[in-house]
Amino acid sequence: MDETHLTQLGRVATPAATPEQSRLERVPNPQAGQLFVARFTVPEFTSLCPVTAQPDFAHLVIDYAPGDWLIESKSLKLYLSAFRNHGAFHEDCTVAIGRRIVETAEPKWLRIGGYWYPRGGIPIDVFWQSGPVPEGLWLPDQGVATYRGRG
């Protein structure tokens, strides 16, 4: 990835047809020597059920401790939008997003929480992280309550 050639920031850009075709971009981290957490909250993520083609909805929370790179947020928005017509199970979508960000930005650490809204009466929450939490990293709660139904 050549971070000096951003293709979407400051330009008209549309989502790719598939997540695989989407260009996730990175920019240099001006605080590369510091240990900190950056959070992306995506309350309206959508994909398609690979069996029924019905829409699935999730609230994603992505926390990462950047190294030398930051994820460029417009490219992340466009990448996530490419899932709108993508058929995949909740687990696959959540883990694939986390792995793609790790591949692109090479963070010190990343976790993603996929809080999926119920379909068929069963909510599915999916969590993935790239490894152990770095020592000394302040890690806030993701702030999303587990699904309680009509409780």
Active site residues: 49, 56
Strand partners, 42: 60
Contacts of 81 (CB under 8 A, 6+ apart): 15
Q: Which residues contact 91 (CB under 8 A, 6 or more apart)?
A: 124, 126
What are 99-102's contacts with CB under 8 Å, separation 24+? 99/128, 100/19, 100/24, 101/24, 101/62, 101/64, 101/71, 101/76, 102/130
Residue position matching structure tokens 């909250």: 41
